[in-house]
Amino acid sequence: MRIAILIGSISDEEKMRPCSKVLDSLGIDHLFTVTSAHRTLERTERIIRECEEGGCQIFICAAGLAAHLAGAVAARTIKPVIGVPLSTSGSALGGMDAMLATVQMPPGYPVATVALDGAGAKNAAWLAASILALNDAELSARIRAAREGFARDVETAAAKLGNKI
């Protein structure tokens, strides 16, 4: 397994499932599980250790509210950590609390932070894939092909509107 997707609560699954779908579409083996920086710190530490022993190269961590999961993981590994802040119904701040908690890491413990919720989930997968593609020509080709497909989708949409440009 090359990537571990860790979510702070089972209620985060729906928002993070797009991350797993992007990785599946690119043929990237990954783990998708629940663990908490606060409620199950020992589980989180064990998962990090077992993932690293199993060849995990990147951690994608998603959480809402205090959103400490990405930081807790970054404190225990030197592998890249990508944080996805999530908005939750329990927050009066609309996800801004999670965004600030994820992006404000102390020097030496970086967390690459992407957008909130589903868009962030997808971009976390694309960013992780791009990192892996630095040393994987086949994955690089799959990413390039996907982007060419995105461009064709735009051209098709423009043609449906009758645009000749």
The CA radius of gyration of the chain, in Å to the nearest whole number, is 17
> What does the pLDDT look like over 48-76, one tens digit per residue?
999 999 999 999 999 998 899 999 999 99
- Edge-to-edge strands of the sheet including 112-113? 30-34, 3-7, 58-64, 81-86, 112-113
CA within 13 Å, CB half, 78: 0
Q: In terms of residues, how long is the chain?
A: 165
Residue 163 has pLDDT above 80, yes or no: no
Name the residue ranges covered by the structural domains of the chain. Answer: 3-134, 135-165
Determine the CATH number of domain 3-134.
Answer: 3.40.50.1970
Q: Are strands 30-34 and 58-64 parallel, antiparallel or unpaired?
A: unpaired
Which among 104, 56, 94 has a CA at the least distance from the CA of 76? 56
pLDDT for position 26? 98
Q: Note the Cα 10 to chain centre separation in Å.
A: 16
> What does the pLDDT look like over 11-47, one tens digit per residue?
999 999 999 999 999 999 999 999 999 999 999 999 9
Average pLDDT value for the chain: 95
> What does the pLDDT look like over 86-130, one tens digit per residue?
998 777 788 899 999 999 999 999 999 999 999 999 999 999 999
pTM of the full predicted structure? 0.94
CA 114 vs CA 62, 71, 127, 137, 158: distances in Å: 10, 14, 9, 25, 28
**In whole angstroms, what is the distance from residue 81 CA to residue 113 CA?**
9
